[in-house]
């Protein structure tokens, strides 16, 4: 069980650290073992901050994060992290990338090889052991990154927009594969994304974040039955869910954009018809 207990994070700004910005404000959620939860929110809402807080890379200003009751005070071996893109080590082969964490933790060579081979099979990269990341596509690189994290057998996998830099087809295929991997490993997955369709395709629950300071504006249950595939995305239930998420998100997206550009964005620009167009993965 992962508890995010009333967590806030304030950053100091500037050289003198006198001005501050509140990135997260009283974020609260309890995630059950084996759950797949997505976090969606507008640009700059603190999604990545939350990701780093749970991963133990930064400390919360207020509140606590607990894994099975233990407060998180730093990186924890029970948590695995997958980053946005280009996080594979270009100087290592695929196999060496996947065995990296095991080697650093003193696992012997035969065991490393056995577990990595199993993982490469799980992510569909058997036969690419000796390839370099530079020889692989973006999607294959993300498979390597996922395998590198999963080989450590974490209970909780944090993913920060792992498919953000990929094209739509690759993203859909990897989404389906991620669901299969999730089923086979039984891990808890916390999936940060700005893509509404992706959140609806993958998750049990979806936390919608507000513009900065990031709060959980709504936590939406996703009742669409599993297994889900490409056809699921054409059903009325799926479209209703996407519409509902967009309704929660659209004002926040506008505010996020205003914060980013320092300009007001027309409040009438986000009606339903446009919403569908804007939530296509290719548009993100």
Binding residues vs other proteins (CB under 8 A)? 52, 55-57, 75, 77, 79-81, 83-84, 86-87, 89-92, 100-101, 104-105, 132-134, 148, 152
Whole-number Å distance between alpha carbons of 255 and 141: 34
Please, what is the minimum distance in Å from the beta carbon of residue 124 to other proteins? 20
Whole-number Å distance between alpha carbons of 115 and 103: 12
Please, what is the minimum distance in Å from the beta carbon of residue 145 to other proteins? 9
Return the number of the residue (12 or 230) whose C-beta is nearest other proteins. 12
Residue with tokens 């901050």: 49
CA-nearest of 216, 281, 205, 214 to 248 is: 216
Return the number of the residue (84 or 117) whose C-beta is nearest other proteins. 84
Please, what is the minimum distance in Å from the beta carbon of residue 232 to other proteins? 31
Return the number of the residue (102 or 178) whose C-beta is nearest other proteins. 102
Return the number of the residue (148 or 250) whose C-beta is nearest other proteins. 148
CB 147 within 8 A of CB 139: no
Helices (H), the chain: 47-54, 94-104, 109-122, 138-150, 168-185, 196-202, 236-261, 272-278
Return the number of the residue (139 or 278) whose C-beta is nearest other proteins. 139
Whole-number Å distance between alpha carbons of 210 and 215: 5
Please, what is the minimum distance in Å from the beta carbon of residue 72 to other proteins? 12
Please, what is the minimum distance in Å from the beta carbon of residue 80 to other proteins? 7
């Amino acid at each position: 069980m992962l508890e995010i207990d009333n967590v806030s994070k304030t950053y100091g700004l500037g050289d003198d650290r006198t001005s501050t910005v509140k990135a997260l404000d009283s974020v609260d959620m309890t995630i059950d073992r084996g759950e797949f939860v997505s976090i969606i929110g507008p640009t700059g809402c603190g999604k990545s901050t939350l990701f780093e807080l749970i991963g133990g890379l930064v400390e919360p200003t207020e509140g606590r994060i607990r894994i099975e009751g233990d407060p998180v005070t730093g990186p924890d071996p029970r948590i695995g992290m997958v980053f946005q893109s280009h996080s594979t080590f270009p100087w290592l082969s695929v196999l060496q990338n996947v065995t990296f964490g095991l080697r650093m933790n003193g696992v012997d060579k035969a065991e490393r090889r056995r577990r990595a081979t199993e993982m490469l099979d799980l992510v569909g990269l058997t036969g690419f052991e000796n390839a370099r990341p530079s020889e692989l596509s973006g999607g294959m690189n993300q498979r390597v990154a996922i395998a590198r994290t999963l080989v450590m057998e974490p209970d909780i996998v944090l993913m920060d927009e792992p498919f953000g830099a990929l094209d739509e087809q690759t993203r859909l295929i990897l989404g389906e594969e991620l669901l299969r991997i999730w089923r086979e490993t039984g891990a808890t997955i916390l999936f940060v994304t700005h893509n509404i369709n992706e959140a609806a395709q993958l998750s049990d629950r979806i936390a919608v974040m507000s513009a900065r300071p990031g709060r959980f504006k709504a936590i939406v249950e996703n009742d669409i039955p599993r297994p889900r595939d490409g056809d699921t995305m054409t059903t009325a239930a799926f479209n209703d869910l996407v519409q509902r998420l967009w309704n929660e998100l659209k004002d926040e997206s506008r505010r996020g954009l205003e914060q980013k550009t320092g300009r007001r964005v027309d409040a009438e620009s986000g009606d339903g018809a446009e919403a569908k167009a804007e939530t296509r993965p290719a548009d993100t």
